[in-house]
Structure formats: C-alpha cells, structure tokens
Amino acid sequence: MTEQTGTGSTGTSPRVAIVTGGSRGIGRESAERLAADGFAVVVNFAGNQAAADETVGAITEAGGRAFAFRADVAEETEVAALFDAAESTYGGVDVVVHAAGVMTLAPLADTDLDALDRMHRTNIRGTFVVDQQAVRRLRTGGAILNFSSSVLALAIPGYAGYAATKGAVEAMTLILARELRGRDITVNAVAPGPTATALFLDGKDEETIARMAAQPPLERLGTPDDIAGVVSFLAGQAGRWVNGQVLRANGGIA
C-alpha cells in the first residue's frame, strides 16, 4: 500500500472516503467523483490490483489523493485492516461507499446454490461487515452509503437470488440509520436501475440490453457517472438531511 498524491494536494487534512469495489464500474466512478469533490480516497479491491491501480492513477493525475487496498469485504479482519490503513494514512474516515457486489442470474428453480452462497457472502455478509466497521470508526458528520438495486422493486424473473440479497441490504440500511441516532451519521442506500457496467452487461444479448434500455421514460441505460452523482450528493453537505432512505436512481423505471 502506497499513498499517491496528485499535484492539487494541499497540506490540510481532507475528508476521507473508503470506496469498496472501487476498481471498476460504479465503484470506480464514485471514487473518482469523491476525489474530485476533495475527499482523500481509499480504493478497496478484492483481486484486481491492476484495475485498482488504474483508478488510483486516474485520481492522482487529476490532482487528488488516493491509495489502493486489497480486502475481502466479507472478512472482518481484512476490513478492519482496510479501515486501519485509512486511519493511519489520512487520520480518520468520514464516508464509506460500499459498492462491492456480485450477481448471478438464473430462475430460482435453476439457481446453483454455491452461486447463491457467494452472493449471500459478498452482498449480505459483506455489507454487514463493512457497515459494522463503519459504525465503529466514522467521525461525526459522516455518511454510510450501501448499494441496493432497483430490480428488487421490479420483480424481474431470473433475479430472485440477487434481489433477495439486496432486500437484506435495504433492511440493514434502514435499521442502521435508526441505530445511529445521536451520532450525526447518515445511512442511505443507492438502488441503481439498469446501468452500463460489466456486472450488468455480462451474459446479456443486444436485444435484451436494448429492451431494458427502453424501459425508463428517459429511454437509456444509466451510466456509472449518473450513479456517482447520487453518491456525491449523499456524501456531501447537500445530502445531510437525507437519512434512512433508499434512493432509486433508475431514470424513472419504477
């Protein structure tokens, strides 16, 4: 782990954000957006060091501060080490964006139970572990942002296992917001609709993608930048009065 600092860095202590799943897709875009907002960013990744380094490079080339740190979000000791690294490098943690997740699609009757267990481990246990460390570590005025999915409300066939994990994420989010009464820490979930990321596009033919893109009134897929804008809002001062909510960022699909 080596901190990289761009030319725009100052000597002042920045607000600090940890972004899990920060090496690609929505996580990467969120990490870059928060860095542009002035946060020092810890880019968490599970296995793709090169992609995480690319994210850090993009941040530092734009003048921001960032470093990459490998941790399995479902492993308590590894997540604790992630927070330790953020605290030792930047002095504390203010915002946690938990964007790490996995998705396997199949009808319920055909779902491989090992795949279900993997989704449960990353999406449910991972959220619990990351949020648990966040609750113990975040400074006053902080924010926890979990990730759900708009497919939970759409009841799309083939998404039973994945949507079930995101239902658990929403339950944790709403309860945790209330458990943090008096701490001045907000807890919200972002629930993207169909978004043009590798996680969404993998395994879908062009006809399926076109059909899903046509569903929202805005008649397109979301982009990682669309979702990063929501993350920026909830992590910043403008979003301080939004708490205990699931924000469905989906172009009006539901």
Active-site positions read 162
Rounded Cα–Cα distance for residues 216 and 219 (Å) = 5
CA 134 to centroid of chain Cα atoms:
13
Element (H, E) at 56: helix 49-61
Q: Is the dihedral of CA 137, 70, 149, 238 positive or negative?
A: positive
CA 89 to centroid of chain Cα atoms:
21
Rounded Cα–Cα distance for residues 50 and 44 (Å) = 12
Alpha helices in 91-150 (DSSP H): 113-119, 126-137
